[in-house]
Structure 1
Amino acid sequence: MWREQCILLFTYFGAIWAQLSPACALKNGDLGVCISYERCDAATNTIIGDQSNIIKPGYEQNLIQCPQPQVCCSFTNNWTTTTTTTTTTTTGTDSVEKCGVQKRAKVSNFHKTMTDEAEPGEFPWAVNLMIVNNILATAAKYKYVGTGSLIHERVVLTAAHVLFGKNPDNLIAVIGEHDQKKKVMEKRSKTVQYCTIHEQYDGTNGDYNFGLIFLTESALKDNLPSAGTVCLPPADYAPPAGTRCVFAGWGVDYHLENQNQLVKVDVPMMGHAECERRFQQAPTLGPGFRFLPSLTCAGGEGTRNLCGGAGGSPLVCPMEGQPGRFFQIGIVTWTTDCGKDGAPMAFANVAAVRPWLDEQLDNFVKELSIGMN
């Protein structure tokens, strides 16, 4: 495992397993119930909405390991840290923070400077990743290195190539960012304690381009109105081809101009076979090119692209049957010639490594439980 020595105190992030109604054991030892993925809030691992048709399990029941794509879900928000009990609340009718919900904010005197600029709070999970700038003493203290997504209040998902070779002590994650040069919304910088890169990451072709950043404290503790988490998809889930999804990040546009503002690009999802065929038509790849299983792709619409610096940006798709909620399908990885040849963009396929994501978090919880210090 690629990792640095550091300590992380974070709330339990439940693994996704599951099936309807039998009792199951949560990682903290409490009882949960096997329930459909859509009915369990991925950010809090608690049941969404009405529970009247669910029988709360008793200790006399036999516990099972819930079969995918269902989950072992808690009836109450009982996550704990090593020092305090935390509950995430929102305004309105929801008692717990929902993942994948946009939080557009009304900002006085805000005006878009470009067509594709995101609205403030439109992508509350977008994280601006910065590193200490040691190049010029007169330059800004930090420089941008990539984009990430908040998948849990203490965990950021990004591309492995963004983290590769970086010292976590020199990284910060900016929550609530919109414009890198000026303040649009309230934002906070969080320090990094621990980073993990997928063991099979290959920097030559973008295979298994997944990285995790663990923060020293909750990214949501400041109650920023436009900060929130994005949901993760079930293992091996693939949106239907043609689904319009969107990625948002900071980087370089089609005209090779730096974008200090958070930019969004909506793109159609593309099936694996069609994606491979389109890439084979790119002059820089050719007919021998093979598209890796750890990748997914979308786009192919020419200027609907970002051409550099957007590595790690989350590609999110709308949830079926849950209007207004999104889960993260991909991570911006690479494209060819800014897509000028009609080639799509390659994204690390989040659903393909869902078990790996759960394993990393579970293993860390076990380390904490035996007194890691």
Structure 2
Amino acid sequence: MSGRTCSCRWIFLAMAALVLVASAQDVPSPMCRDDELCTTVAHCTESDDSGRKGIGPRIARFCGTDKMCCERAQLESWNATRAERTERQLRTGQRPAVSAIRDRNGKVLEPEPNESCGMNMECVPRKLCRDNIIIDDGRNIINPRIGVGQCTRSLHRCCAVDQKVEAGQSPYVVKLNGFKYKSCGWSNPQGLIPDRDTFNYTEDVSIFGQFPWMVAIFTGRQQYLCGGTLIHPQLVLTSSHNIVNETVDTLMARAGDWDLNSLDEPYEHQGRRIKQIIMHPDFDPEALFNDIALLVLDEPIQLAPHIQPLCLPPPETPQVVDDLLLATCFATGWGAKEPNSDKLERVLKRIDLPLVEHDECQAMLRNTRLEQRFRLRPSFLCAGGVEGKDTCKGDGGSPLFCTLPGQTDRYQLAGIVSWGIECAEADIPSVYANVPYLRPWIDEQIKALGLQVAGP
């Protein structure tokens, strides 16, 4: 009897542990519906029992980094099946392998040691290195001289342990204190690393500070929701479809961010709560017409080298349309990079995309499942249709911006990521909220708030 009792107890404990592990990664979230739970993308994918596929709005119902909203019934069914399987394994003498202790994101809890880059030299975030000395007390002090050793991580530098200078001599501190804002739309083509950055960035990754108007919008629990565009120290434009179920109590905006999973950036991001959400009154949550919203921050953002507003375009005219079609345009965001992936990017990506003329875009989209009767409404514009380049899931609300006429490093907002049929397929453009067409509505809201947005 004692042997059977012990065996049953082992089975019970193992099953209980399995249920606890499964339920630990399946949690309620304010971003999810009542019949959904927030879980990892991998867990939702492996437990899927519907076979459904397809892409709609540029939102994947993300509820955190590498997490998404998933049907509660689907997860409960999967977890129950796993528990039954484990019970059978234990009854037949097979015991599940013991895995390493990890956090909910699957990372080992113990931090990795700093990478060595020479005798008494270590790779550390640039802002934790003061003239080749490692700073381990949390101060954000940056070194003006760095070692010659190579580091494998971006924004990390090789620092000696025995050299010291005063904090005020940091080039980052000097640049931040001496910053003078010029006007809207100016990019930082080479990024904002004072020394020569030799890290091998891929073509579709922006450099830190390159596009200083990018804003990340989070839920109150610091879970990434969508992108946005700073157009004034207190105003952010985004898409209505991303925030239609949110309130001022569930949102916050972060300007100056680059790597969502790191604090290694030389200049810190700035976070603000939302004081007011203004959605377009004619926004259609199903057809996504007029997919635009204005977020009013509770306090103005302090402008800095890595945080500056983007220019608004003039109201739509044939000349404005022609200028945009001839311009160089980019879209930025933290959404999925691969067409069939739900995984968010941790580092801000950039994609060069050509704008597509309205009638041409409508004709292309009629060759998709939208079919021949589809009409592209004037509140939309199109970009892309190039194989391998596109905005995708998680990019909703992010900006599509184009060079100002006659300029190369200065931009104006052309569109806001809205929806698409597929991601990164040839001859299937993605669809964006048409900012020039919606400019009169934007002006009305800004005027009603008693604010002013300077032009180029």
TM-score calculated relative to the size of structure 1: 0.67
Distance (whole Å) between structure 2 residues aligned to residue 212 and residue 233 of structure 1: 16
TM-score calculated relative to the size of structure 2: 0.55
Residue in structure 2 matching 1:162, options 239, 242, 245: 242
Alignment partner of 1:249 is 2:336: no
Letter in 2 for 1:218: P
Letter in 2 for 1:234: P
Alignment partner of 1:261 is 2:347: yes
Residues 324 and 402 of structure 2 are in contact (CA less than 8 Å); yes or no, is this contact kept in structure 1? no
Distance (whole Å) between structure 2 residues aligned to residue 211 and residue 294 of structure 1: 13
Structure 1 or 2: more strand by fraction: 1
User: Structure 2 matches for 1:216-255, cutoff 5 A?
Assistant: 216-220=298-302, 223-236=303-316, 237-238=320-321, 239-241=323-325, 243-255=327-339
What is the CA distance between 1:112 and its match in structure 2?
5.4
Residues 380 and 431 of structure 2 are in contact (CA less than 8 Å); yes or no, is this contact kept in structure 1? yes
- Identity rate, percent: 29
Letter in 1 for 2:192: A
What is the CA distance between 1:260 and its match in structure 2?
1.1
Alignment partner of 1:209 is 2:294: no
Higher Cα radius of gyration = 2
Residue in structure 2 matching 1:106, options 190, 193, 196: 193
Structure 1 or 2: more helix by fraction: 2
Residues 107 and 120 of structure 1 are in contact (CA less than 8 Å); yes or no, is this contact kept in structure 2? no
Between stretches 287-296 and 111-120, larger displacement belongs to 111-120
- Post-superposition CA distance 1:113-133 (Å, at most 9, x none): 64311011111000000002x
User: What's the secondary structure of 1:167's corresponding residue?
Assistant: coil
| Structure 1 residues 171 and 280, CA gap change in structure 2 (3 angstroms) | same
Residues 327 and 404 of structure 2 are in contact (CA less than 8 Å); yes or no, is this contact kept in structure 1? no
- Post-superposition CA distance 1:246-269 (Å, at most 9, x none): 010111112413211111111111
- 1:148 aligns to what? 228
- Post-superposition CA distance 1:162-206 (Å, at most 9, x none): 220101122111111001000224111111101100000011122
Letter in 2 for 1:105: L
Distance (whole Å) between structure 1 residues aligned to residue 407 and residue 183 of structure 2: 12
- 1:192 aligns to what? 274
Distance (whole Å) between structure 1 residues aligned to residue 414 and residue 394 of structure 2: 19
Residues 255 and 271 of structure 2 are in contact (CA less than 8 Å); yes or no, is this contact kept in structure 1? yes
Alignment partner of 1:123 is 2:123: no
Residues 391 and 417 of structure 2 are in contact (CA less than 8 Å); yes or no, is this contact kept in structure 1? no
- Post-superposition CA distance 1:287-338 (Å, at most 9, x none): 1111111001111002101320100111100001233210000001011121
Distance (whole Å) between structure 1 residues aligned to residue 308 and residue 201 of structure 2: 24
Distance (whole Å) between structure 2 residues aligned to residue 112 and residue 147 of structure 1: 25
Gaps of 5+ in 1: 1-88, 133-140, 367-373
Gaps of 5+ in 2: 1-175, 452-456
Between stretches 211-220 and 95-104, larger displacement belongs to 95-104
- 2:356 aligns to what? 270
Between stretches 182-191 and 227-236, larger displacement belongs to 182-191
User: Structure 2 matches for 1:246-325, cutoff 5 A?
Assistant: 246-255=330-339, 256=341, 257-282=343-368, 284-325=369-410
| Structure 1 residues 206 and 113, CA gap change in structure 2 (3 angstroms) | same
